[in-house]
Structure formats: C-alpha cells, structure tokens
Amino acid sequence: MRLQGKRAIVTGGGSGFGEGIAMRFAAEGARVMVADINLEGAERVAAACGGIAQAVDVADGDSVAAMAARAEAEFGAVDVLVNNAGITHLPAPMEEVDEADFDRVFAVNCKSVYLTARALVPVMKARGSGAILNIASTAGVSPRPRLNWYNASKGWMNTATRAMAIELAPAGVRVNALNPVAGDTPLLASFMGEDTPEMRAKFLSTIPLGRFSTPEDLANAALFLCSEEASMITGVCMEVDGGRCI
C-alpha cells in the first residue's frame, strides 16, 4: 500500500499505459481520477479500480480547469499527477506532416503539461508536497525516422520535466518522467504506420530485451517514482525500454 491515502489524477487513463498506472495506483491504496477524452474508457477503468471518471481534453484550458476543480471537490487536494495522455502523427517525412497534425501533437503532448501545471501546481506548492510524473518516450531520447515532430514533442517533455523539477524542488514538489519504448497499446499502430507481423518484427529488433513494453512495466516504474520510496528523486527521465536507448 505504497500510495495509501494519496489522491491521484492519471490523464489518458482510459486505455494503455494510463490504464495500467491507474489500476496499480488504486491497488496500492490511492484514490484515482481516471481522466480521458474517451469518457467511456475512463468510466470502464474507474469502475474496475474504484476510482472516478472524468472527461477531459488535455489540450483545452477550460477542460483541464474543470478536471482540477472536480478533483478538488472529490478529493480535497491532489497529491500525484500523471501526465500520460499523448498522441502521435503517422510516420511520414518531416516536411510532409500536415500542419493540423503538428499542432495537435504539440497541443496534446506539450501544452497539456503547461495546462495541468497551471491548474494543479499552485495547490501543491501551497501544501508543500506533490509528485508529478510526465510520460515521455524513448522517441525523445533516441528518435526514430519519420516520426520527427512526435520525437520533438517528447524531447520537449523531458526538458520540461527537468525545468519543472528544479523550479518546484524548493516547494517540496517532485517532477520526474518515464521514457517507455513502444508498447502494445492503442498507439502502436500509429507509430508503425501499419500493424503487420513484419513491422512488429522490425520494431522488436531494436529492443535488446526482445519485447514491447507493457502497461504493467510502466505502472511499476510510475509507482516507484510517485511513492515516498523516491522522495529524494526529482528531475529524472527514466527509460523503461528494454535497452533500446543504450
């Protein structure tokens, strides 16, 4: 029960890595808000973990503010924030990615971190404690070709994590990130462009441990970084990648 009594928000919690994190947090004693643009997915996960579901568009300031207000009303305060919601553009030469796709990737992957910080950091600072976890990607550490702007957005997330960590440390708020390798989640087909055995084999050939990451892998790492066991850890961008970035 390493998160006993903690109150957490997990964005993008309705599927994939976010679902795994929400389920594990709840199993470790946290009260969890499962926030997702797909309310049906959020409700399914919330029902499974005894949490509460919240519809949110993390790229929209009003929607994020409403999420924060609901969390405050339900929980009283938020101890842990996991910025997990994210999207990608389809693989393409960098100059051929549509401007609308570029804008959406940076709005969901980057602007969202600003919006959740604007909504939730003041309360964490006032309380003198809190843990924020940003889910970035190995793409931000060791970029793959034809995913240029997604790579860049995740590199931004890693830099933002370090910048947030150094600024918020005096207030008792820790900020870390995870860099997962591709996982067998709803985003996998978008990363690959097509979900075929040949494309999966190509991706797997770049991962020394020979498998995709799983929601459970991310949940285990997230649990550690958001628990008191990691009370001296901030500004870390941890690869959960089977050795891909070596």
Q: By residue range, what is the domain housing residue 58? A: 7-183+215-231
CATH number of the domain where residue 86 is located: 3.40.50.720
pLDDT in tens, 20-73: 999 999 999 999 999 999 999 999 999 999 999 999 999 999 999 999 999 999
Segment 148-176 shows an average pLDDT of 98
Given the residues 25, 149, 150, 191, the one annotated as active site: 150
Q: Mean pLDDT, the chain, as a whole number? A: 95
Q: Residue 149 has what pLDDT?
A: 98
pLDDT-derived band at 174, boundaries 50, 70, 90: very high
Told to judge if 150 belongs to the known catalytic residues of this protein, a careful annotator would answer yes
Helix residue ranges per DSSP H, 52-144: 61-75, 99-106, 112-127
CB 71 within 8 A of CB 119: no
Q: Is residue 52 part of a domain?
A: yes
Number of domains in the chain: 1
Q: Residue 209 has what pLDDT?
A: 95
Helix axes of 16-27 and 39-49: crossing angle, nearest 10 degrees: 20
Q: Is residue 204 part of a domain?
A: no
Q: Is residue 98 part of a domain?
A: yes
Q: Is residue 193 part of a domain?
A: no
Q: Residue 196 has what pLDDT?
A: 84
3-state secondary structure of 32: strand
What share of the chain in percent tops pLDDT 70? 100
Q: Is residue 239 part of a domain?
A: no
Q: Is residue 138 part of a domain?
A: yes
The model's pTM is 0.95
Q: Residue 207 has what pLDDT?
A: 94
Q: Residue 238 has what pLDDT?
A: 98
Q: Is residue 11 part of a domain?
A: yes
Cα–Cα dist 39/78, whole Å: 20
> Is 223's pLDDT higher than 90?
yes
> Is 162's pLDDT higher than 90?
yes
Q: Is residue 177 part of a domain?
A: yes
> Is 198's pLDDT higher than 90?
no
E strand spans, 14-109: 31-36, 52-55, 80-83
Alpha-carbon dihedral 87, 44, 77, 68, rounded to 10 degrees: 50
Cα–Cα dist 145/131, whole Å: 33
Cα–Cα dist 110/58, whole Å: 10
